[in-house]
Amino acid sequence: MGKGGDFEGAAGLQKRTTGKDAAARALPPGVKVIRVGDRVVDVSQFGPRHPGGKVLDLYMNEDATDAFTAFHGTSEKAAKMLAALPTVTDPAVTAAIEDDGKVGIVTDFRALNAKWRADGLYDCDYGLLLYRMLEIFGIVGLSFFFFSMPAPTSVRLLLSSVTIGVAWTRCGWIQHDAGHIGVTGNTTIDHTIQAVFEGLVKGGSGAWWRNRHNKHHAKCNVQGKDTDLNTYPLLCWDLEMAKKLPKSLIAIQHLTFFPLLGLYVPLFFFTTKLFMLRKKKPVEAVITVVHFAIFLSILISLGGTASEIFAYFFFGYVVQGLYLGFCFSLSHFAMPQIKSGEDDQDWVTNAVITTLNTDPTPLVSWTTGHLNLQLEHHLVPQMPTHNLIKIKPDVEALCKKHGLKYSSTSFWEAAKFTVGTLQKVANQRRMIIDIVESD
């Protein structure tokens, strides 16, 4: 749907007048509230104990109904926790926090979501799940075969590291879905699946991922709240933010983009381990130790030297970063960013104006783990990703009815748009500095 540049600011930031400030003024000091459905609840005491971490803070004095539904779905545990929270009855507070259920696009979306659930689109396809698991184990096995094959060392390491990088990326897709409770819909089972593929097979941390990724979904592309935007000062897609960053780095960001993608997974190797230590995640730590024990024992038994094993892991991480990071970068980075304090769009509008889909084809959908339909995924993150294509026509019609642009383009146009925006911001950053210096 058009060239990459056509997406810049395409939807327009639709800012609503809210009573967030009025609610804050009406509350006693230290009291925090959110709206969920017909209730405004006091989360002052619950906030620090919230199992999902600080993501709750992102909705203070706002309507969190659709976020609650998206993150917790039909969870009885979450529903019980919500029911136990004290209800705020002060009219000055309840009237100030707008009810998103009165917004037309939200009302229509909630009706559609109920229909999708009734149509079975949240149900697990266990045959497909088994295939995805076997595919990963098959690719891991292939990487060990390449590592041990009678060939020059450079050839063995190239083939085996690329293959394991692809396997770990495929782990990334399935652990992503499981982290959202979007595989079976059962929290215990899905978190177990995530522990297997993010921890045992890949050596990462599911809890770290959930802590980070849920903030991205809660406030997509909101500066200061969406942690995925924390690419500064190395990369920046927003000119206003780029003005505050070092010219030397921003001016070449379109050239450093791919090398940085290759390095972010090796960096996260350390951050995930520190997270386990800091947050006291002994089970995840044990799973990670088992991961390395299994991989190291196999690679050593196949005759790998210390340098070869290091190269296998390091370049496998690089391939994973390039593959996984590039696919995810296409969806949001070059789309409009929302300044903190102006993020009072409803759940649906936020997803639409900050997200770019890549047109579904069998190859693109397989390559991206069906996450090329990011708009649909952000609306209903607990829906199994292979079903997102089934709701695409409904979402397109919803956007058209309410005057929002449904942004979608080919994979290659999305890539050109993303990298091109980096270069455009870099050029404008250089131009601003040159003008200032010439004066």
User: In whole angstroms, what is the distance from residue 83 CA to residue 85 CA?
Assistant: 6
CB 149 within 8 A of CB 157: no
**pTM of this prediction exceeds 0.85:** yes
Taking the CA atoms of residue 108, residue 113, residue 115 and residue 117 in that order, the dihedral angle to the nearest 10 degrees is -170
User: In whole angstroms, what is the distance from residue 263 CA to residue 130 CA?
Assistant: 31
Residue 163 makes CB contacts below 8 A (sequence gap 6+) with 139, 142, 143, 146
Residue reference for tokens 């980070």: 212
DSSP H helices, 124-205, are 126-148, 153-179, 187-194
User: In whole angstroms, what is the distance from residue 360 CA to residue 345 CA?
Assistant: 27
- Predicted confidence pLDDT, tens digits, the chain (439 residues): 333 344 544 344 444 445 566 666 667 777 889 999 999 999 999 988 898 888 899 998 899 999 999 999 888 999 999 999 999 988 888 888 889 999 999 999 999 999 999 999 999 999 999 999 999 999 999 999 999 999 999 999 999 999 999 999 999 999 999 999 999 999 999 999 999 999 999 999 999 999 999 999 999 999 999 999 989 888 998 888 888 888 888 889 999 999 999 999 999 999 999 999 999 999 999 999 999 999 999 999 999 999 999 999 999 999 999 999 999 999 999 999 999 888 889 999 999 999 999 999 999 999 999 999 999 999 999 999 999 999 999 999 999 999 999 999 999 999 999 999 999 998 887 776 555 555 4
CB 33 within 8 A of CB 88: yes
**Closest among 290, 77, 328 to 181, alpha carbons compared:** 77
Q: Residue 36: helix, strand or coil by DSSP? A: strand
User: In whole angstroms, what is the distance from residue 200 CA to residue 192 CA?
Assistant: 10
**Closest among 262, 253, 405 to 326, alpha carbons compared:** 262
